[in-house]
Amino acid sequence: MTRRPYDNSRRAEQARLTRRRVLDAAHGLLVERGPAAVTMRDVAASAGVSAETVYKTFRTKAALIKDVYDVTLAGDDEPIPMIDRPEIRAVHAATTAEGTLTAYAHAARLVSGRTGPLLARLLAAARGGDPDLAEFRETTNRERMFGAGGVVRHLTDIGGLRAGVDPGQATDIVWTLISPEVYELLVGDRGWTLDQYEQWLARSFIDALAV
């Protein structure tokens, strides 16, 4: 019997909702307990689904953790690349160095505010020797470098990068300033507000890079 389009779309929506419920459950457990203390069965129980469903959807705990991070980073599970998100589009729409870097500081504030508690747990496990999370750390470092490079290229294109500053070094500076380790030191350890973090980040970008 041929499935009707309505049936297919309903099944797809149910699968999406189940996937999101699993991701939300995993996020809560990872932040609460840390990754070493969370199993796929724990996630299944918290989400109210079978362990088979979790394994079928994500296959491995490492893949589940990366998907949890990606959804947290974006703020939702819509299939929209970060470069097409409003906060990043605002960076590339800016026509001055100060506008570009101020917009990027705001984008970094939004991302860090969403991912901070989760990343603190995951990176602590990576430093503790978990091989899957060591790979996760390398992946997120590369992704952050890609984003930093895009900002510096835009800055160069609009003539906003200070003379004498090497673009590669500029990318390293941005990559370091937006690192989760810096965020955790200032917001997590020193108790800065997100507004204070954003303002400091914008000023640091501008002082280091802008014409």
Q: What is the pLDDT of residue 159?
A: 98
Whether residues 67 and 136 share a domain: the answer is no
Above 80 in pLDDT, residue 5?
A: no
Whether residues 120 and 177 share a domain: the answer is yes
CATH code: domain of residue 49? 1.10.357.10
CATH code: domain of residue 99? 1.10.357
Whether residues 103 and 151 share a domain: the answer is yes
For 174-200, the pLDDT digits (tens) are 999 999 999 999 999 999 999 999 999
Above 90 in pLDDT, residue 1?
A: no
In a 3-state reduction of DSSP, which class is residue 58?
helix
Query: What contacts 46, CB < 8 A, 6 or more positions away?
Result: 25, 26, 28, 29
Please give the tally of structural domains in the chain: 2
Q: At what angle do helices 40-47 and 61-74 cross, to 10 degrees?
A: 50
Cα–Cα distance between 34 and 123 in angstroms, integer? 10
Q: What is the pLDDT of residue 10?
A: 86
Burial of 129 per CB tally in 10 Å (0-12, 13-18, 19+): exposed
Query: What contacts 181, CB < 8 A, 6 or more positions away?
Result: 123
Q: Which residues form the domain of 124?
A: 82-209
Whether residues 100 and 159 share a domain: the answer is yes
Whether residues 201 and 105 share a domain: the answer is yes
For 8-31, the pLDDT digits (tens) are 788 888 999 999 999 999 999 999
pTM of the model: 0.90
